[in-house]
């Protein structure tokens, strides 16, 4: 069944109305004995979920090197009787759970990699791991919370496997490496999993994922449309004519030209983009040129990033960045080579799937499913959501009594996740799965 048709049948709810309409949702969202079983099973497996999370946290691994984590996952999925594939996109693990009755295929995804960050949190299971990254010895830490994601999806797999005979459909569990990016010279992450045929033989009807973040524990954040940005990098080489600093008229100054390009790029966002549609950012992060005070060089190199939340705006901003740089350079008698490298696309939540999911989220966290603003960070869950309707959620992990605004953010060496979020994540993934299957059957 088409998700748009599903949404229109199951739920008549505008996003502007928010959660208030949840009580009138269709039968697929009503509390059922199966939902009660999910909650009981999630509570029963929670001690193991916490143990998995702590074990993974204490033994973090960088992207495409998640060997220990992948074995832990694969062994667990095999013990549940799932069909298990390993070595997908280097270290990825995929488990297939076959339900007892025909129905849709639901994909659930967790990322496994850690970051080159030295942990400063005082925990009994804090990471002491050190390794080499880009030629340097570094600490390794789950500073983005992927240890939580893996443990929750392992828990969801156990809960759903325990009721497989009652599932009207199948579940694909995706344990993905290298979400933070592959090592230099390597491919990785969601794009490589798809390139290697993840969805080629069996394409999911929907894909769900979540990410821990600095909002209060007990809350789930959602947003229809773009929830995380496309992340693209650019590099410009401005070429002039070198000359003596005392005689600038004898050459073409690439430093002044590049400075004018920096200023011109600011108008791409402030004057040329419709920011009522979605925000955008064009940042210059590196500006390199010249060797000494009395030489005007022939070349300046600039490097930066572009962040957008709308696919059409992404294309438009790229064109404007290129045009602005080329025309400013031409006006100065210089030239510029502009290279824009596409990174992760916009993480886009299917609007109909998002609206349909709201009553389920309200059941999981009554009164605490909250529409959240989009962020300009990026996520390679976006690649899955380009292939099939997707929903990506925020899971709060800031302890009660702590101001979320003051909590160390993801990627900080002080990042801390309250484990009270773990059973909520397990329940959210499993409730969404069984509700989606039920809705397709109706």
The residues carrying an active-site annotation are 344, 419
Between CA 169 and CA 104 the distance in angstroms is 5
End-to-end CA distance of the chain: 10
Can you state the angle between helices 422-441 and 3-10, rounded to 10 degrees? 90
Q: Are 321 and 282 in contact (CB under 8 A)?
A: yes
Q: Are 144 and 411 in contact (CB under 8 A)?
A: yes
Locate the DSSP E strands across 79-205.
Answer: 83-88, 92-98, 101-111, 130-133, 136-139, 168-176
**Tokens (6 digits) for 236:** 């410009």
Look at residues 307, 305, 110 and name the one whose alpha carbon lies nearest to residue 189.
Answer: 110
Map residue 102 onto helix, strand or coil: strand
Tokens 């438009």 sit on residue: 316
**Within a 10 A sphere around the Cβ of 141, how many other Cβ atoms?**
25
| DSSP track, 279-334 | -EEEEEEEEEE-SSTTEE-SEEEEEEEEEESSHHHHHHHHHHHHHHHHHHHHHTT-
Q: Tell the burial category of 73 from Cβ atoms under 10 Å away from its Cβ (0-12, 13-18, 19+).
A: buried
Give Cβ neighbours of residue 322 (< 8 Å, ≥ 6 apart).
Answer: 338, 340
* H/E element, 336: strand 335-341
**Within a 10 A sphere around the Cβ of 155, how many other Cβ atoms?**
28
* H/E element, 45: helix 33-58
* Interior/surface letters 207-216, b for 16+ CB within 10 angstroms, e for the rest: bbbbbbbbbb
| DSSP track, 249-271 | GGSB-HHHHHHHHHHHHHHHHHT
Q: Kind of pairing, strands 136-139 and 220-222?
A: unpaired
């Amino acid at each position: 069944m088409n998700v748009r048709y599903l949404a229109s049948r199951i739920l008549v709810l505008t996003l502007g109305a928010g959660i208030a309409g949840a009580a009138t949702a269709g039968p697929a969202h009503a509390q059922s004995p199966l939902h009660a079983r999910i909650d009981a099973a999630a509570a029963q497996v929670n001690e193991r979920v916490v143990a998995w999370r702590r074990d993974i946290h204490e033994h973090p691994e960088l992207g495409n090197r998640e060997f220990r984590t992948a074995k832990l996952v694969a062994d667990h999925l095999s013990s549940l009787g799932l069909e298990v594939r390993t070595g997908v996109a280097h270290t990825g693990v995929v488990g297939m759970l076959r339900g007892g009755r025909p129905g849709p295929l639901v994909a659930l995804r967790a990322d496994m990699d850690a970051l080159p960050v030295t942990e400063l949190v005082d925990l009994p299971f804090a990471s002491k791991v050190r390794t080499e990254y880009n030629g340097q010895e570094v600490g390794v830490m789950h500073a983005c919370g992927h240890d939580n994601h893996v443990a929750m999806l392992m828990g969801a797999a156990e809960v759903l496997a325990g009721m497989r005979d009652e599932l009207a459909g199948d579940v694909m569990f995706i344990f993905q490496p290298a979400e933070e990016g592959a090592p230099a010279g390597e491919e990785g992450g969601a794009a490589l999993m798809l390139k290697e045929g993840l969805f080629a033989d069996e394409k999911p009807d929907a894909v769900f994922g979540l990410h821990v973040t600095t909002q209060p524990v007990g809350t789930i954040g959602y947003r229809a449309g773009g929830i995380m940005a496309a992340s693209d990098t650019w590099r410009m080489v401005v070429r002039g004519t070198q000359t003596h600093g005392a005689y600038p008229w004898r050459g073409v100054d690439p430093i002044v030209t590049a400075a004018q390009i920096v200023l011109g790029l600011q108008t791409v966002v402030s004057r040329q983009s419709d920011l009522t549609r979605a925000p955008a950012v064009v940042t210059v992060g590196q500006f390199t040129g010249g060797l000494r005070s009395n030489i005007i060089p022939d070349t300046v190199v600039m490097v930066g990033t572009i962040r957008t939340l709308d696919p059409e705006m992404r294309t438009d901003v790229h064109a404007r960045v290129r045009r602005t740089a080329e025309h400013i350079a031409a006006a100065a008698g210089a030239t510029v080579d502009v290279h824009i490298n596409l990174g992760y696309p916009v993480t886009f939540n299917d609007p109909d799937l998002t609206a349909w999911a709201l009553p389920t989220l309200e059941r999981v966290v009554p009164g605490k499913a909250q529409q959240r603003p989009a962020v300009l960070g990026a996520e390679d869950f976006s690649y899955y959501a380009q292939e099939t309707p997707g929903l990506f959620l925020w899971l709060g992990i800031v302890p009660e009594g702590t101001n979320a605004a003051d909590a160390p953010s993801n990627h900080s060496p002080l990042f801390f996740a309250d484990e009270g979020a773990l059973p909520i994540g397990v329940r959210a993934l499993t409730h969404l799965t069984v509700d989606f299957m039920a809705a397709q059957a109706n």
